Every structure is written in structure tokens, then in C-alpha cells.
A and B are shown apart, each in its own frame.
Chain A
Amino acid sequence: MFEYAPAPESQALVNFKDSYGHFIDGKFQKPGKTYQTINPANEKVLADITYGTEKDVDLAVKAARHAYEKVWSKLPGAERGKYLYRIARIIQERARELAVAETLNNGKPIKETRDVDIPLVAAWFFYYAGWADKLDYAGLGPNPQALGVAAQVIPWNFPLMMLAWKIAPALAAGNTVVLKPAETTPLTALLFAEICQQAELPDGVVNIVTGFGDTGAALVGHKDVNKVAFTGSTEVGRIIARQVAGTNKKVTLELGGKAANIVFDDAPLDQAVEGIINGIFFNQGHVCCAGSRLLVQESIQDELLKKLQRRMESLRLGDPMDKNTDIGAINSKAQLKKIEALVKQGEKEGAERWSPACVIPKNGFYFAPTLMLGVSPANTVAREEIFGPVLSVMTFRTPQEAVTKANNTEFGLSAGIWTEKGSRILKLADQLNAGVVWANTFNQFDPTSPFGGFKESGYGREGGKQGLAAYLKGGY
């Protein structure tokens, strides 16, 4: 019948070097001791990446300090804005190349990098470019001052987007940065370094140091950084909080989540199904604000699950470079193992596991979209962040029970409400302990809107006017 023929995006759109050194003081260093970064969709090596040492970090922080004191802090806001606008435009011009690079290194479908990640990256730079000369209106009093050098450590789930969330507000506010991308996804950050050169950004304003956790720890712990911004696991977030305790460093942490997606019996069902799918299977579920707990009103459970399962059968898992792929590869073997272990644990505790029939490619790391049915709030899969395409299904009977169950988590990053009743949306949004509450939609991002968590999901906000406060004196 109507089978979709392969529609692969061209790999030739991007040219990686064989090996990369750090990007410090406007120049790429010679590669040092390296490790390999791979394409998780087929396990092929993409490039050799330098494993950053304490010395490298020190060099980068020095460059950032120098650039801050001699150049960046002396520039008027409007001039900083010009550079940011220039970067934003170059990102748009090189959008297709960046989308391909991101898909190759991360494993997420090209459809998502092309339509979501890269457009948002450009939007973030455009948005904060506009703020650079308007900091007087950030709500922090007249002429707010930058902090200095920001140490930024980002995760592998949205590599370039997380870079944009960190670098754009930092630079707009007048800081210089040293950023460490995740060890498995350094390539788009290194392409971004090329973009900084292309935009003729003054040397040392943006520095990229690649490496593993200890590289990140050296950066966060460096005595000459004024600000630490981290996005990643709650586990590492705790370590960082301890590491910077008792110093003058300002910290923002954006950590894990276990969001509830609450579906009431008067919800627009077909759209709720789409929202549930988008909530948990977008980016293979590697989303800190993923709607990983489905709370469905008991009276519509059967109807909704039937629709959801049918819809899951139409999800296309496979080669991320194919334009028709909905679910790509899991980013690493380690993550795949973690997902597998948690799902097994869930089964052991009595949950019923369901996946649609789908062919898993032989090479690369893949995990079928999965429902865990009959989950109780006490189960591991209802409590721990799985960070994969696994949805735990629970029920509720009354709105109060929905709120109680939704809030019964150590996290508090996001939540979703599905109902046609506007008054209920407003009341629930008020009662849910989550930084973001989506109503009749899920996983929508915009640079004008602040994003961040409650409880163990971290502190500080990114995006919007609130996101500037994290990089200015007088902010939190």
C-alpha cells in the first residue's frame, strides 16, 4: 500500500573535522588527549574530541576574564546586541547544516532538529539580542551590571538549544562565558565556535571546552568564575550545589522532572492523544520537562488508552536522518541501559509493559515507545526520571486527587492539563507545583517565556525577562 520510501536528508551538508581542540580566546587549540564522539544511530565515529583538563579550563577562564575586562564589559549594550543579531542570522543561514550536525551527533530525528531545535536556537539569540541595550528595563533597577565570567555546563538532549539558552542571555547581559557541552554531543557547540569566528565576536567572549564530568567539575570549581549555570541531572546538580556552597558564585540549576499530564473526561480527546505523544515521545523522551506520568480520569481510561495505543502504532522509529522518522536513536549506550533497567524494574513491581510492533534497527541505540500500564504512585517508574520514551499510566477520580498525585513527586518542572473547562485550567494551574503548566498542549517553548523548576527540578529561570536576572547583579 502506501509505504513511505526512504527520504534521507543529505549528510554532505555538514563537514566535521577529523579532530577538534578546545575553542579558547577566539581560536581552536590543537587537539590534546582525545576521545571519540559517535553517531548513536549507527555507532560510527564522527570525530575525535579533546578531553579537557584543569589546565585547559584555566586557560579558557583566563581568556574569558581578559575579554570581560578589556572588551566586553566596555562595549555599549547596543554593540553587544549587534553581535548577537549577527550570530542569530548566521544560525539561520546555516540552519540546515546545524540540523544535520545535531541529528548526526545526538540521534534525534531530522524533522525535530529542522523544525524545532534550530529555529528555537535562532529565536533565542534574536530575543536576547533585543535585550542587550534595554537592561534598564529588566526590573533590576537602573544600569544593572554583569556578573563577569559564567561557567556553563549543558546536557546532551538539546545540545545547541541548551547552548543558546545559556550563551544568549549571558552575552546580552554583558558576561563572557566558558561552556562545556556534554561529552556525547560536542559537535554543534564546536560549529557554534566557528559561527562566533564568522560573526567576528571579540576573542575570548565565548570559549568552549570539551570533555567529561571532571572537566565540568574543574570549570564549575574554578575560583575565577562568577556564575555557574547547569542543566542536567538532579544527581549532578546536587554535586554542583555542594561544590559552589560558601562561594560568591551565583548558581542556576535546571534539573530533572517527572511531569504529570492530566487528562480530564471533558478533554478534547484526539488532541489530548497528540499532546501525550508529543509530551513523552518528542526527542525520544530525553526531555527534562517530558510528560512522563499520564494521569487519566478513570471514566475515560479505556477510550483514551485505545486511541493512544492506536496512535503509537503509527509512530515511525528508525534512521534519524530520514525526514519521516518520528522517533530516533537513544543518545548513548549508557542511557539505553538505564532506560532498560528502569522498565524492567517497573515490570518487576507489577506494571504491565506495552509497545507497538516496531522494527528496531540492528546498529545504534534504540528503544521502542513504551507504555507502563497499571502503575501505582509507589512504583519506581512513577517516581524516577526515566529520560526515555516510556510513559507511566495512572488514573484519578476527582480533580483533587489529580492534583495530589501530580504533586506527589520530588520534582516540579512541568505539568499538563487537558480539559475544555477554562475555569478548571486556572484553578489547577494554581495548585500544581510546577514551573511550567501547559493547558491543552505540551512541550511548547518560546524565548519570551521563563522556564524552570520547583523542588528538586532546580532553581532560577531561563528565558524571558526573568532569564536575564540570572546573569545580572541584583538578580537571584
Chain B
Amino acid sequence: MQPHSPEAIVGSRITNQSLKRWLHSLPGVDKVGLEARAASLGTRSIKTSSKAWALDSAIKMMDLTTLEGMDTPERVKSLCLKALTPDPTDLDCPRPAAICVYGDMVKHAKKALGNSGIYVAAVATAFPSGRASVAVKLLDTKDAVKAGADEIDMVIDRGAFLSGNYLEVYKQIQAVKEACKRSDGSYAHLKVILETGELQTYDNIRRASYLAMLAGGDFIKTSTGKVTVNATIPITMLMLQAVRDWYDEHGVLIGVKPAGGIRTAKDAIKYLVVVKETAGEQWLNPDLFRFGASSLLNDVLMQRQKLKTGNYSGPDYVSVD
């Protein structure tokens, strides 16, 4: 199937009016029903071989993240080394998909990771608030791409979205996408952070998901991890429904990345169950599903060790990062 143009999808020239009409025609979301379904999937019992598969997959789908004001080149290097050898006692342990850092740390991460195949993702566009001029946001993006970032995690302009200025949000995503273009004509992978905790309603989250997909985002991501409510299972399920329906209608596969607040292996497995039973097995793949997390890896490693040895070791048996 040939990807449809934004105009064909919306059914008219792209204006704020047409975007509004299109977004507001999407089916509503019933909060109680969505959350009940998410809770019921949370009761799936994942044991033995399926647990082993899920733990390994959770690592392979992880964007190991450090996004602190106090980040240093040394700290980023240490995290990269952890990504290269997550569990020194088990060299078969898979590696995370990417390291996620601020733009100025990209060069240090690239250097530490070399040609290991682990991607470097950079947050950009005045992350996390997104409150800067478009010119600054684009420069922020270009700077990270130039430093070698494989993936860009941008934030949408929530203020514009909430004030009904969908066209502005759309144009910014498109412009950032262009800023992801490298000198050789290829593009850095673009993840669009909706900051669902600020959009507040499920209807808004569905609309923002569609807007980001229309504007050319490769991934839709829940959160920056910097606000009170970050990724939740119902929100992630809603976004998975959006990418599933988008693929059905337009033949384009878009990824989903829940980020922030996913700390335990048990949680990660619940997310994978939701992926499988909402979007389908096709999405159980680092190209289409990622966890944005900083402390999840160690818990998964401990659970992995327990599954292998039968004993639960404790936090001193995995490395701090």
C-alpha cells in the first residue's frame, strides 16, 4: 500500500480548520472502559518460557536513559558501557536498543558505543517543556543530528495543542522532521513526545497521536518523564490502538514508546502483554516498541538472574549506573 498523503488522509488542504474537523471526528474514548480493559490485561499470568522471552525482549526494546542536569560525559560513558555489557555474569544477555541522552551528550555516547549497533537517541526541541522559539527548536535538533544522533525525541507544543492550534503543532513536527535530515539525505528516526500527562484527557491523547502520525512521526511517545503523570498502561493501550488503526487505514507502521515511571520487570511484562493483545505481535519489535526507562534495566536483570538460577540475588549483584 502506498502511504497516503496528509491531504488525502484529512480529505482536504491542511488548515487548522480541516485538522480540527478531522481530529474531532475520531471516536471518543470511554475512560472507565479503557482503564477496565487495561486492568484486565494486567492479570495475565506470564510464567517460565514466556517470562524469559518477555524479559529479554524488554531489554532489547529499552531506550536506556539519562536526562539529568547533572549528566557528565563520564556518567554517559558509564551508562553506555552498561548497555554494551548489561550483565557481566551472562554474556548472552541482550543489549538495549538505544541510549537516550541530551543533545550535548550525543558525541560522548557515540564514542563510547562505537559500531555496537546500539543507537543514540537525543531529546531535542527545548526538551522537556518545548517552550522556545521554533528556530531554537530546529537548531537544537540539527545540532544533535550533526553530532551523530540516530534518533530524535522531540516534544510537541502542548500550549498550541491545548489552545486548539493544531496547525502549529503539525507544522512544528514537520519542520523538526526536516531538521532530522542528514547530509546524505537519510533521516534520523523521529519520536514525537505527546506529554500525555499535560494533555490530560484520553480524547486529547488520541487526537495528538493522530496529529503526530499525520505529520510524519516515526514513533509516538507518551512522556518526557519530567511531569507528575508519565506513562500508564491505559495511555499506552490507547496509543497502540491508534497505531494499529493507522496501519489498517494507511498501511504505515508507527512505533509506540511509553516513557517515565516504568521501573519493574513486572510492569514491563504487563506492557508487552498489552502490545501483543492490542496492536498485535508485529509490534513486539524494537523497531515498533520501546521502553523509555532509567531504572528498569536492573530490575529486569535481577529477574533474569532469578529465572536462570532460581535464586533472587539482590541489587548488589547488578551494577549501579
Contact = CB atoms under 8 A, between A and B. Distances in A.
A2 B48 CA distance: 12
Interface stretch (B22-30, B98-106, B159-167, B312-320): B22-30
A341 interface: no
A303 to B, nearest CB: 9
Interface stretch (A161-169, A171-179, A267-275, A465-473): A267-275
A445 to B, nearest CB: 14
B33 A4 contact: no
Contacts of A111: 43
Contacts of B36: 274
Contact of A5 (B50, B57, B241, B277): B50
A83 to B, nearest CB: 33
Given A268-B28, A270-B27, A270-B241, A1 B34 contact: no
Given A111-B43, A314-B277, A2 B29 contact: no
A2 B49 CA distance: 9
Give the interface SS of chain B, mostly helix, strand, loop or mixed. helix
A4 B43 contact: no
A270 B205 CA distance: 15
Nearest to A6: B47
A268 B234 CA distance: 15
A314 B281 CA distance: 11
A390 B48 CA distance: 34
B27 A2 contact: no
A441 B27 contact: no
A21 B306 CA distance: 48
A441 B30 CA distance: 9
Contacts of A5: 46-51
B276 A2 contact: yes
A5 B272 CA distance: 15
Contact of B46 (A4, A268, A274): A4
Interface string B279-321: 0010010000000000000000000000000000000000000
Interface string A249-290: 000000000000000001111111011000000000000000
B4 interface: no
Q: Which of A111, A268, A270, A271 has the most CB of B within 10 A?
A: A270
Contacts of A3: 49-50
A96 interface: no
Contacts of B250: none
A271 B43 contact: no
A324 B45 contact: yes
A440 interface: yes
Contacts of B272: 2
Q: Which of B30, B32, B36, B49 has the most CB of A within 10 A?
A: B30
A271 B284 contact: no
Contacts of A4: 44-46, 50
A146 B48 CA distance: 55
Interface string A1-32: 11111110000000000000000000000000
Given A2-B54, A323-B45, A268 B284 contact: no
Contacts of B51: 5
Contacts of A272: 33
A271 B281 contact: no
Contact of B33 (A1, A306, A324, A441): A441
A296 to B, nearest CB: 13
A173 B57 CA distance: 57
Contacts of B47: 5-7
Given A2-B54, A2-B57, A2-B272, A440 B30 contact: yes
Given A2-B50, A2-B54, A7 B33 contact: no
A235 to B, nearest CB: 34
Given A2-B53, A2-B54, A2-B284, A270 B29 contact: yes
B37 interface: yes
A306 B245 CA distance: 11
A271 B30 contact: yes
Contacts of B46: 4-5, 7
A401 interface: no
A421 B99 CA distance: 46
A5 to B, nearest CB: 4
B159 to A, nearest CB: 27
A2 B53 CA distance: 7
A119 to B, nearest CB: 13
Interface of A: 1-7, 111, 115, 266-272, 274-275, 306, 314, 323-324, 420, 440-441
25 contacts: A2-B284, A4-B46, A5-B46, A5-B49, A5-B50, A7-B46, A7-B47, A111-B43, A115-B43, A266-B28, A268-B28, A268-B29, A268-B30, A268-B33, A270-B29, A270-B241, A274-B33, A275-B33, A314-B277, A323-B45, A324-B44, A440-B30, A440-B33, A441-B32, A441-B33
Interface of B: 27-30, 32-34, 36-37, 43-51, 53-54, 57, 241, 248, 272, 276-277, 281, 284
Given A271-B29, A314-B277, 4 more contacts: A5-B50, A267-B28, A271-B32, A271-B37
